[in-house]
Each structure stands twice: as C-alpha cells, then as structure tokens.
Amino acid sequence: SIIGDAMTRLARAALILPLLWASLAGQTLTLEDIFQNRAYQLESIRLAGWVDGGAGYITTSQGDDGRQYLRHDVATGEESLLLSASQLVIGGRQVAESIDGMTLSPDEAWALVPTGTVSIWRRSSRAIYYLHHFARAETRPLSNSTDLQQAPAFSPDGQSVAYVLDNNLYVLNLGSGRTRQLTRDGGFRVINGHGDWLYEEEFSLTRAYAWSPDSKSIAFLRFHQWPGLDEPKTYPLVDELQTYPEIFYLPYPKVGEKNSAMRLGVVNVGRGRPRWIDLGPETDIYIPRIGWTGRPGELWFYRLDRRQQNLELITADAKTRRTRVVARQSDPAWVSLTDDLHFIDGGQRFLWTDEKSGYRHIYLRDIDSGAETALTSGDWEVSNIVGVDAGAGQVIFNSKRDGSAQRQVYRTGFDGSGMTRLTPLGGWHTVMPAPDFSYYIHQSNAINTPPTWTLKRADGTVLRLLLDAALPDWGADNLPTWELFNLTTTDGTELRAKILKPPGFDPSRKYPTLIYTYGGPGSQLVVDRFGGGRGRGLWHRYLAQQGYVILTSDNRGTGGRGKAFRNLAYGDLGKWSLHDQIETAKWVGRQSWGIPGRIGIWGWSGGGYLTALALTAGADHFRMGIAIAPVTDFRLYDTAWTERYMGLLTENEAGYDSTDVLSHLDGYRGGLLIVHGTGDDNVHAQNTWQMVAGLVERNAEFDMLMYPNKNHGLPGTHYHLYSRMTRFVKERL
C-alpha cells in the first residue's frame, strides 16, 4: 500500500527538528533531558539498501506494528510499504508482533526476516527466522526447529538459504522445502560456520561461511575451542541476581593461551560431506576471512600468523584442495585486517589496500602474474574501499587526502587516472552507491553540524534533498561548540586536538579542565564529525555549560596519520599514549585560562585503561579520573587484540610489565572513580577487582561503581552512570 509522499514526510521532519533545537539554544542542558527524556535526539534516515538495481532504496521506520521497511522510488520520490510484521501470516495467524531486520534474496522475490532476536555478544544474535515471498504473500519458517537460528544467507541463485543451528551448518532448498544438515559435530567445543567469541570481537567475523558463485558449495570455518585440553579454560560470568547464582562459562582465550584450532572446509550442498583445505604446517594461525574468487571452483582465504605481522592471501582448488599464496602483506608491528578485497574480471584480478608505502593505498593486482598497479599514492590514507564499478573501471573510496580529521569520498580509475573528489571539503562524508552506480545517497556532517542526507546522480548533481537536520542558532552563546586545532608537545610533535569551552569563555579567567580520551592503536576521537546529538556528546556540552573546559587529543599511536605514527603504540600500549596525555595536561597548564592543579581525565574501555594509568603512572598531572570498564593488566585481555599490539608475552614481558596499571599502583594519589559491569564479556570485571585489591592493600581511597550483569556498554544505566559521574566531577575537579 502507498504510505504517502516521501518528500512531504521528510520536509515535515525537517521543519520540526529546527524548532526542537532552537529551544535548546537558549536553555541549559539537563541530565534528565539528555538521558531520560531523550529530548535532544536527532531525527535520522536509517538506510537499509537498494532495490530494483538502483531504481529504489529502502529505509526503516517505526510503524504501528513495530519496525517496517519502506521502498522509495528514486525517480518520483514515492514511498511505499515493503514489509512489516503484519505481512508475516501463516494459516491466517500473524506469527510475529514485530520484525528485527530484513535481507532480500538476490532476485528480491523473498525476504528473510528475524523475529524475537536474542543478542549473544557484540555482533552476534539468534532469532526465529521467517521467509516471506512478496508476490505470493506466502510466509514460512526457515527451520521447523524451535531452537533459534544464526547467520542465515541466501545462495547467489536465490534458491537456497544456509544457516547455523546449534553450531552446525544447514541448508534449506526453497523449491523442495527440504533441509539438509551439512555438519554434525557442532557443540560447546566445536563451532561450524560461525565465529567463536574471539573472531567475532576482534575480527568482526560472525557468519563464517561463504556460498560459491554457482550456489553448489559452501566454504566454511570450523572452530575447535581449547584443542588438546581435557578441561576448557573459560571465564565465568556470574548472575548474582538469582537466589542461587547462575554461571555462564565464556570461551575466552587470554594472552598466551591457545586459540581455537582452525579448519577450512568445502561442502557440496547436494552431498553434504566436507572436504578440508590444507592450511599449511603452522597451526597457531588465524583465518579471519574466506570467500570465492569468481574463477570456477576456486576459493580464497587470509592466513595470518599469531603475531599478526604477516598476512597471506591464499587461493585453493575446491576439488584438489591444493593451495597457492598469491599475495602477501607484512609489517614490523602489525598488519591491519580490512574488508578491502574485491575480485574483478571473473576472479582474474583483484583490488585491495596495503600499507607498504607507509600509508594505506589501493592496488590492482593480477592473481596469476602478480603484476600490480597502484591506484592511489601519497602521504595520506585511504580509509576503505566503498565500491568497485567494474563496468566503468572505477573504484570509490573514503579518504583522508584533505586532512586526517576529515573523511572525503573519491573516485579513481583502475589505472590510477581521473581521481575526483565526490564530496565537498570539510566534514565527514559517507556515500551509499546504487548497485549500478547510477545514483548514490550522500550523508554529510561536521563536528558542530548534524547530518544531511541527499540523493545524487553519479555525476554529483543533486536529485533530491532527503533530510536536513541543520540546527539554527547552533553558535548561540549558551550552547558550546567544538573547535579543532593542533596541539604541539614539548618535543615538537603536533597532536590533533579538539576543545569545548564554556559559554562566554574569557581567557583571562581560570577554568577546570576535563580531558576525554581513548588513545588506542589506530583510533581517532579528533575528527570533523558530528557527535553531539545524544549521550556523551551532550554530556560534554552540559559540563561546558557548568563551567568546565572539555579537551581531547589523539596521542601517538592513533590513526589517520600513517603507519609510522600508528606503530609507535607497538610493544607498550601505555608509553606514548600516557606521555601525550600528560603533554596535553601540561599544555592546559600553560594556557592563561588553565589551572594545573585542576585537570581531570576520563575514558571508557581503552580510555578507561589510559585513565587508570594516568592516575597511577601519571598521577602528578591529574587531579581526578573516571575509568569505565578499564583493562588494568593486558595479561587479562584476549589473545588477538593484545598480541597484535603488544607482541607475544614470551617475547615482550618487559613491555607487558610497563603497560600494566597494577605495577604502577604505588604512584596512586587518589581521585579515582572506577566503573564496571559484572557481565562484561569483553573487558572482564576481574580487571577492576584486581586494581581494587591492590588499592586496598595500600590503604588508598577510591570510589567504585559496579553494575550487575551489565556488559561492556552498560546498557540501561546511562542516566544513573552520568549522574554519578557528574557529581564526581563537581566534587573532585
């Protein structure tokens, strides 16, 4: 049914939003409005892909029956309902009150719909999935099992759906309705077709299988957790809100422990018997990506050594299982894993990114001869490849060519010629090209400017403004705005920084300063990107209205400035990050408005670690700090992330000791609020307990806030959390 004219609805939203924010410009922010009433949450467009080869695009919105998917006609702007829960009907009964997502089959005849989704970890979930055929208005379950399914995917021909159930791989044939079980050894120790906890968290790999282009075979990874151990090493997550606490044993390899033993299999969906690919003699490796090249029966995979300093792109013949290394990347610190691998010409050539020049750039390489062409070059970074238009011989990519704090979108030819910037200078830009590259949706924002969405033709001309959330009076005296600048350390290094000053700022007056930090390898907090619509961003503006200066600097080891700058983090995660946060505090002390004795610091996760280190090894420079979910000893963190940046414990024990917050507790002088969720599967609460134990041994005073069963993001606590943080800042700073 036709829902209404898209432009009318979007224009109405664009009129309402400025009125909302105009009222904000003349008032003082409150924690209640930020975190409870969500009074300042901005409207946005939630894009969900393209249809009809680019003739339409899909958005999601909330309807009377929950989430619904809307189709927008590119030519006319007409909006129509594509799918909602009311259409999922079996035997005259609606089978779900709401839907949690939608994936279209390649021919767009079917929709795959999760309902009753249960989150597992950061990126994984289980759900009851339904298949809905649009033309026949027919709905059927993906599986007859009452157990929840994971990671389903249509075959390229749209005739089958693969999925994971109870750690085994299954395939449903849509024509016959027959389901075939492809693996049978899945269980607590063995996972087929889905990433284990480590691969999900550190390699962003959940669906660990890939359909062949001819839809006849599936390549998949098999994870055998705790190989060779009779008793698995797990971390217990304890739910103490029950009368008798329930314990979940989390498979989590800490530094130096064994990772899952890997196998790469290929299974014919008609016969269902896996054949195993030779991964080489070294077994202590990572296989973080798999796929198919496009050449008949040829799959590819990445092989990454335990130190993550050598990455190999390997092809394999699915029948003979013979393998061949076709390209390599190496780095004295670590090789950064990306998803920038695109095969063209039927798998004969591929595009990927490499940092061998010192900056990430795009290369086109022949898979057999190894002949290579650099499509980009220079002392600037390609962030990632957005899309490859093989027909036109062009690649679209995100770039920092115009400044490390910006993200611009460029297009260039396969021979490196005709490089063109598609987006205006300044700010942070994202584009979503149509499948045929005839149109793209452009989202633009800047550090003090909320996003704008525009539909454009391939040549950049504007076809239609979709939503402009511009805020009038954004520069009003009562609403602080961020300023980007470069901060020079005493050794002459320029750090990218941003500062938020109180309304009516007077440099002749004195202001307490709160530094917000993360500082982890490759991260960037100082970017020309809007982040003030909710949560932390508005809390910083709230504090500025209360008379505090808020400051952030990206220390050595962070991203956007080339591999040499980033590699400074290697081997000792605390060395340069703490050094440069101390330099930031010293810079504040040298300003006319700065107060050397009233500088605080706070951060979450990696920023929590850096805050804890600042209040111990750097205690001379910080009056107080708030450390949320901090790592306090990297021996307690997982293998893949830690060893990537610290090296192996057996080879760098001194670096681990230096980085360890617990080894610096004698320097602690007070002023710490430490916060953790007891259900944190990522940074275990053990880190906080061990720091607390060390502080208690020293009879040191500190404040602590624990959230029962809450994970790393502390969901559902933010009004309570930020209220407590606010009181702590006002009391201690």
Give me 679's structure tokens: 């259900």
Q: Name the residue type at position 218.
A: I
The total of other beta-carbon atoms located within 10 Å of residue 732's CB is: 18
Report the distance separating Cα 73 and Cα 588, nearest Å: 53
Q: Name the residue type at position 341.
A: L
Adjacent-strand bridge partners of 140: 131
Cα angle value 466/470/471 (rounded, 5°): 150
Handedness of CA 335, 336, 339, 345 (dihedral sign): negative
Q: Mark whether 459 is an active-site residue.
A: no
- From 605, 621, 664, 681, the catalytic residue: 605
Q: Mark whether 605 is an active-site residue.
A: yes
Report the distance separating Cα 259 and Cα 254, nearest Å: 9
Q: Among 173, 167, 104, 96, which Cα is nearest to 142's? A: 173
Handedness of CA 664, 670, 676, 678 (dihedral sign): positive
Give me 421's structure tokens: 């910037």
Distances, alpha carbon 38 to alpha carbons 25, 247, 346, 530, in Å: 16, 35, 50, 17
Residue 420 CA, distance from chain mean position: 28
Adjacent-strand bridge partners of 604: 628
Report the distance separating Cα 683 and Cα 698, nearest Å: 24
Distances, alpha carbon 6 to alpha carbons 54, 134, 430, 457, in Å: 17, 22, 22, 18
Where do the H-state alpha helices sit in 530-621? 535-545, 563-567, 575-590, 606-614
Report the distance separating Cα 120 and Cα 122, nearest Å: 7
DSSP state for residue 431 in the 8-state scheme: E
Largest CA distance in the chain: 79
Report the distance separating Cα 530 and Cα 15, nearest Å: 20
User: Which are the contacts of 344, defined by CB distance < 8 A and separation ≥ 6?
Assistant: 350, 351, 388, 390
- From 100, 196, 528, 680, the catalytic residue: 680
Residues designated as active site: 605, 680, 712
